[in-house]
Structure formats: C-alpha cells, structure tokens
Chain A
Amino acid sequence: MSSLRRALIGIGIAGFAAGVGIALLAANSNHLDSRGAAVALGLLLGWSFIGTGLYAWDRRPGNGTGAIMVGVGFAWFLGTLVTANSALVFTLGLTVNNLFFAVLLHLLLAFPSGRLETRNHKLLAGASYFVAVPLGLPFLLFADMTDDELCGCPDNLLMVQDSVTTAQILGAVQIIPAIALFAAVGRVAFRRWRAAEGIERTALSPMIWAGLVMLAVAGVQIAAGAVSQEGKGQILFFACVAAMAAVPYGFLVGLLRSRTAGLELENVRLDAELQDRIEELRASRARIVQASDTARRRLERDLHDGAQQRLVALALDLKLARAKLDKDPAAAAELLDASIEELAEATRELRELARGIHPALLTDRGLGPALEAIASRAPVPVEVAPVPEMRLPGPVESAAYFVVAEALTNVSKYANATHAEVTVTRSNGRVVVEVRDNGVGGANPAAGSGLSGLADRVAALDGLLDVQSPQGGGTIVRAEVPCE
C-alpha cells in the first residue's frame, strides 16, 4: 500500500471518529433544538465532504480539490463544537464556528484544479478566512450567549462585557463582508462555469450549481439570522445545511458525468480509429489480390514467352531434324545441337521461374541457406550475417526471403552499389530483416510496386516494412515481423 493511501485511511478514520464524537456531543446538548435532525444532517454533511474528498484525493493526488473538501468536512465538525455543554469547548466552537464557510468558499474558488489560480482568487480566499474567524472575535467579546434571546447556551468565556447593542453592531461588521464574499465567489464560480465547454462543462456543472445554490441559501440564512432568531431561521438553517451537503455530491455527479462523456468521446475516437484500420485493411486486401493477379499474369507471360516458346521451337526443330536424318545427316546433327542448347536454356528459365514462385531451398533448408543462395547469385558482393538456425514459421520465412530477394534485386538494378549486407536477427518475439547497401539511395517505396507489395505481405503478418534511402546515403530496407 502506498504511503498516500495509508495517510488517507488515517484521515478517514479520524474523520469517522470526529463525526462520532460530535454526534455524541450534539445528542447530549442541552441548548440544541431538533437534536435528532441536527445530528443526522451534521453527520451527513461532514462525512459527505470527508468521504468524497478522500475519494477525489486518492484518484488525483496532484489535485488539491480532494484535500480542500476533506478540510471542509473537518471544519464543519469543528464548528459543531458549539453544541457542547462545556463552556470551554463551547467557546472554542464559537471561535471557529464560521471557519467552515471560509473553507467552502476556498473550495469553490479553487475548483476544479484545486489551486487558487489568480491573485484575485487568493485575495478572496484570504478574505474569507479573515472574515470567518478573526473578524468574528470582536462580536464574541460582547455577546452573552446564555441570554435566551441569543441562544440559551453555555457561558461565552471570551465575553468581557455584556452589551447586546455592541454585539449586534459587531455582528453586522462580520455579516456584511461575508455576504459580499459569497456574492464575489459566486460570480467567480458562475464565470468559470460559463467559460467551460463540452466535457469540462459537463463535469463542472453539478458542483458549481450546487455551490451557487448553497451560497444563495447560506447568504439568505446569514442575513435572516442577523434580523431574527425565530423559527424561520431554523428552517433556513436546515435548508442551508442540505444545500451545503449537496456540494460534494455535485462533485461526484460531475466526476461520473465527465467519465461517461469521456467514455463516449473515447468511443467515438476508437470508432474512427477502427474505421481507419478497416479502410486500411480493405485497401491492403485489394492490393494483395491485385498483386496476386499481377503475379499470375506475369507468370503466365514468363512461361508463354520463355520456356513455352523455346519448347515449341524445339519441337519444330526436332521434327525437321528427323525429316532430314536420312538425306542430310549433317544438317540434322546441326539442328539437334541447336535443340540441345535450346532445351538447356528452357530448363534454366523454368528453374528461375520456379524459384521466383517459391524457392525449394527455403522450404528444404530454411532461411540461412536460401539467403546465401540469393546472395551468391547477386551481381553485387553481398555479405550475409549468420542467420538464426532455428526454423521460423513458413509465412515469416517467406516474407523474410522475399524482402531480401526484392531488396537485392533493387540493389543490383538501381543502387549502383559496390557492397550490400543482409542481417536477420530474432529477439523479443520479433524477427528483424535488414538489407543495407552503399549505393546512391533515393529509393521511393511508394513508386515501385515491388516494395509496396512487400509492405503488404509484411503487414499481413502484423509487421512493418521501413525503407530509408537518403539521396547519396545508401539504402536500408528493414522488415520487422512478430514471431513467437
């Protein structure tokens, strides 16, 4: 388990314990109305922020959003210390009662990157913390909390003088900038939402809108609280807590929606990729069929123009020789000599042709001897590095053989080289065949059908053919084919 994961689990346990502690405190509070609902909503709110925050933190450790959300949860629990019956704990709760709002504003300012991006945002966040805690202290110096009008709470240990009027004035000094900050942060969040597009907006919308609703409800609640502490305030308080609790779920919904949208986008991308691949395969299949047609046509031509013509001429000459055998034996002998030569030539042509269709040596002895044989027939000196002895699958051997054969044919036809090298290596489940020469370079694989036909043959085995042929820099033909 990573150290981050361990830390997050630790924070989770602390958050759970804090919730249980606060719930006990609130359940035993003798100055809290609607205790059951308050405990349930309070726990829902705190744990929602902590739980969602931890999830976000774990998923994207580099993004501060999760940590801030966890902070909101803990700040909430701290604020609910005011339910305590102990004057000391109660007073402590009073001082940090509004910290929660500051962290929440910080969260909205920093969402979604988790950072306060601009100076303005940093100022707003700083002001939020200042208004929430230090600016609340003067009020506490004059507020007698035991007063039933105010809340009928335990002793406020910070109070130096009981003055309702002073307390109300100082309370307003905190509330007015607080509402202004709500408005300012709401504006930042709204602008961010409006600037977002597509998936980003899909992801941001739920949390930003939950935040905006929360700001509105909380603003009204605070303003109303300043005017009256009656039953209406209680309803607004619960509405405010519910709106706040919606924020982390807004975040989760956003995450889910962006994921769904992301998946859809990914699907579209994969679909397009698949279409491209299908197009490519279709084209390559058509080329393979065409190449095979062309090869058969060429074979037919070669047979017809070569061996067949020679054999036809041979048949005529032999017939003529037989006719002349009695009357003109010398002419007959001459014809027979010519026929023998013609026959040898026809045999040689047939042999060449058969080798072009499929070399017997490759089938019988494998790639090494077959490549040695091509090299020995090449008009340019060709060095063949030792070929791995283990036999390769038939199609791989054939592809390797024809790559070398075609490359060496090109070397002797076009490269004007004095030397060529052939290497075949096998490693990591791949066979790499390379033919390099020291010729003039400038070969264009797209131009000649020989190399593009080979590229299709290699691609059919999920391999790649690469030709590097800078002007004047020699040519390297390299085929790489997977081979388990």
Chain B
Amino acid sequence: MKVLIVDDHEGFRASARRMLEAEGFEVVAEAGSGAEALQAADTWSPDLILLDVYLPDLEGFDVAERLTVNGSAPAIVLTSSHDASDFGPLVERSGARGFIPKSDLSGEALRRILDEQP
C-alpha cells in the first residue's frame, strides 16, 4: 500500500516512515506543507495519506477537503499531537477516513481505520 506522509516536523516524518515501513507499508513520498501535499498526491497517487492537522500554510482539514472533493481521492487519515477531542466534528466533515493521535500511530491502527467501510 503506497503511503504519503505529510507533516512539517521532519523528526516525526522520519519516525513515522520507519514505523510504517517496518509494518509493511510502502512510503512513496513525504511532504512538509499543504501545497507540497497536494502536489505529491497528484504526482504519486498514493493509496493512503497520513496527514498532519497543523501545517505551516494550510490546515490538514483543508487539504483533505480539496483532495476528497471530486470523490476519487486516496484514503486520508488525519493525525496530530493533539487529541481527536480537540477538533470536534472537523475530522468527519473534512472527508478524511479517520484520525489517529500521533503517539498512538501504528500500522495496526491505520489498518483498523482503513478496514472500516467508508
């Protein structure tokens, strides 16, 4: 499964990449901002985007909305060092498949979300 990791913290991207690759995902690209994320999604056509909420230019919610607006988007999972309860209904409205707090990130948690029917 091809994955795009979007986060402005390089340290997190590196850790996430190590973890996902160890659990059998193929990380095809990383992006550090919303604009880069949109471009990388176009370039790499990933199956899954792990998308940080707070990016320097756009919010993850906006990026998710733009990607999902025509219906043929990859699966998007939002992540943040904040908790899901900090965002209320925003995650659902954004068109993303789900949310994982960064500290709970694991291949298993991602798969659980992806297995749920959209």
Contacts and interface: CB of A to CB of B under 8 A. Distances in A.
Interface of B: 9, 11-12, 14-16, 18-19, 22-23, 54, 81-82, 102-103, 105-106
Given A316-B19, A317-B18, A309 B106 contact: no
B19 A320 contact: yes
Given A313-B11, A313-B12, A319 B18 contact: no
Given A316-B19, A317-B19, 7 more contacts: A304-B81, A310-B11, A313-B11, A316-B12, A316-B16, A319-B19, A319-B106
The dominant DSSP class at the A interface is helix
Given A304-B81, A305-B9, A311 B18 contact: no
A411 B91 CA distance: 46
A267 to B, nearest CB: 56
A238 B116 CA distance: 119
A323 B23 CA distance: 9
Given A315-B103, A316-B105, A309 B81 contact: yes
B109 to A, nearest CB: 11
Interface in A310-330: 310-313, 315-317, 319-320, 323-324
Contacts of B15: 312-313, 316-317, 320
Given A309-B9, A309-B11, A320 B81 contact: no
16 contacts: A304-B54, A308-B81, A309-B9, A309-B81, A310-B11, A312-B81, A313-B14, A316-B12, A316-B16, A316-B103, A317-B15, A320-B18, A320-B19, A320-B22, A323-B22, A323-B23
A309 B19 contact: no
Contacts of A319: 19, 106
A22 to B, nearest CB: 100
Given A308-B81, A313-B12, A324 B22 contact: yes
Given A304-B81, A317-B15, A319-B19, A311 B9 contact: no
Chain B at the A interface: mostly helix, strand, loop or mixed?
helix
A234 B58 CA distance: 105
B60 to A, nearest CB: 14
B50 to A, nearest CB: 12
Interface in A279-327: 304-305, 308-313, 315-317, 319-320, 323-324
B110 to A, nearest CB: 12
Nearest to A311: B103
A315 B9 CA distance: 15
Contacts of B12: 309, 312-313, 316
A345 B54 CA distance: 22
Q: Which 4 A-B pairs have the closest CB atoms?
A: A312-B102, A316-B15, A313-B15, A315-B103
Nearest to B54: A304
A308 B9 CA distance: 11
Contacts of B16: 316
A136 B36 CA distance: 114
Contacts of A311: 103
Contacts of B54: 304
Contacts of A323: 22-23
Contacts of A342: 11
Nearest to A335: B18
A371 to B, nearest CB: 35
Which of A316, A319, A323, A342 has its CB near the most chain B CB atoms (within 10 A)? A316
Nearest to A338: B15
Interface in A230-279: none
Nearest to B82: A304
